[in-house]
Amino acid sequence: MKNKVLVIGAISSYSVKQFYDAAKKIGKEPFFLFHKDHIPSSILLTSDNYIKADGLGVDMIDKTMHLISAITEHIFSVVPGGELAVPLAESLCEQLDLPFNPGDSNRFRNKVTMRRWLSQGKISQPTQYGVIDSSEQLTALLPNLSYPLIVKPVDGAASFFVKKINCLDELPDSINKIIAHKMSKATGVRFQGQAILEEFIDGTEYSAEVMVYSGQCERFFITRKVLSDEPYFDEIGHISLSACDYPAGCEDLVKEVITAMDVVNGVLHIEFRQTRDNKLYLIEVASRIAGDLISNLVRIKHGYSLEAFYLQARSGQNNLDKYILTDNTSSSNLIGIRFLFGEEPTIPATITVIESDLAQRYISTPESSVKNVVNRSGYIIFESTDLNQSLNFIQGKE
């Protein structure tokens, strides 16, 4: 009996809970695979529903197949619980004869490979200036650089080391930090230590949370992203929007991405920017559910569980039960989240608190920016009728 769903590399207790609840919702038992040095603190985890691995990189596929051998015949579906587990999850699905996205799974992790795949569609992207893995290689790129620009790891996650560069003097330090960062402490996944330099796109940032089944867009939901002050681009909050607030052209962009990236079944997290002249630029595509409790916002705002959809869409079952994917509730108001960084905010009358948590725990790193994910102390999920008031609250302008 295929009664277990396998979740690879859920990073936080919140991610564990989201997938745990979704598995129960569709009548399955959740089973988790974690890196041995990072087990989320969750009351939902028992000795019977998780195992530990030396690493969650795709190079661990043979060892992982051995680890899960006792439950292989009971696995209903396999999904990544976070960004860095995507290649391993795809490889496991292929080994287990479950639905997966064929082709180079690195296209969802490596920005250079991603840009190449996306170039097959009618998708506007930032200009790439080059990729380097040593500061000495920078000299050859200098004649082609135009400031400001963006520097980021080719295979990073959670906005680590993403920075806006305004002049040459700022580049070497940023590049050296990326090159020196060799491994994820939470997953054991190795980084390439390469920096990509790209054109800076000035505009409002959004993400699309997309449900894909049999190569078609079932549904998508747009999230307004709220970022920290430059030069960093840490996510300090999000707002799940009503359809009337979606940027023009976003549906076409979503469908172009699905086609260009050859996505069959799953959930996409597509990040893009809208410029002042309303042009949309694709920033990144991830083949997994968004972090930052965005799926919670989607559930409250639109009534759909991205996790429940994901677990079913990756099962190989032909009778996808769309009814069970919805909680049959939705909100006409905006649903947002504000991340906290030690402050105790005043709640304005225009903001209604839905849920809050003041005890988040992450792996802090000394090289992180002030409002990086590792420095969060909690969050507030809220409801509001006004976009500007929501933005002001997230930005601490209450």
267-284 pLDDT, tens digit per residue, is: 999 999 999 999 999 999
Task: Tokens for 8, please give them.
Answer: 């690879």
Please choose, from the candidates 212, 191, 294, 198, the residue with its C-alpha nearest in 3D space to the C-alpha of residue 256. 212
Residue 151's SS3 state is strand
**Alpha-carbon separation of residue 359 from 6, 374, 375, 380 (angstroms):** 27, 12, 11, 11
Are the CB atoms for 241 and 258 separated by under 8 Å?
Answer: no
Dist. CA 181–CA 165, nearest whole Å: 19
So what's the pLDDT on residue 364? 53
SS3 percent helix, strand, coil of the chain, rounded to 5, is: 30, 25, 45
Q: What angle do CA 106, 111, 114 make, to 5 degrees?
A: 60
Token couple for 306: 């991205």
Please tell me the predicted confidence (pLDDT) of residue 318: 67
Strand partners, 282: 272
Q: Which residues of 152-188 are buried (b: 16+ CB within 10 A; e: fewer)?
A: bbbbbbbbbbbbbbeeeebbeebbebbbebeebebbb
CA-CA-CA-CA dihedral for 214, 215, 217, 222, to nearest 10? 120
Mark the ranges of the chain whose per-residue pLDDT is less than 70: 158, 318-329, 359-368
Residue 157: phi and psi, rounded to 5, are: -155, 160
Structural domains of the chain, ranges and CATH numbers in brackets: 4-98 (3.40.50), 127-199 (3.30.1490.20), 204-394 (3.30.470.20)
- The confidence score (pLDDT) of residue 9 equals 96
Q: Are 154 and 112 in contact (CB under 8 A)?
A: yes
Q: What phi-psi label fits residue 214: left (phi over 0), alpha (psi between -120 and 50 degrees) or beta?
A: left
To the nearest whole number, what is the mean pLDDT of the chain? Answer: 91
pLDDT at 40: 93
H or E element that contains 61: helix 61-67
pTM above 0.85, yes or no: yes
In this structure, are residues 79 and 10 in contact, taking their beta carbons and an 8 Å threshold? no
- As given in the structure block, the two tokens for residue 362 are 């992450």
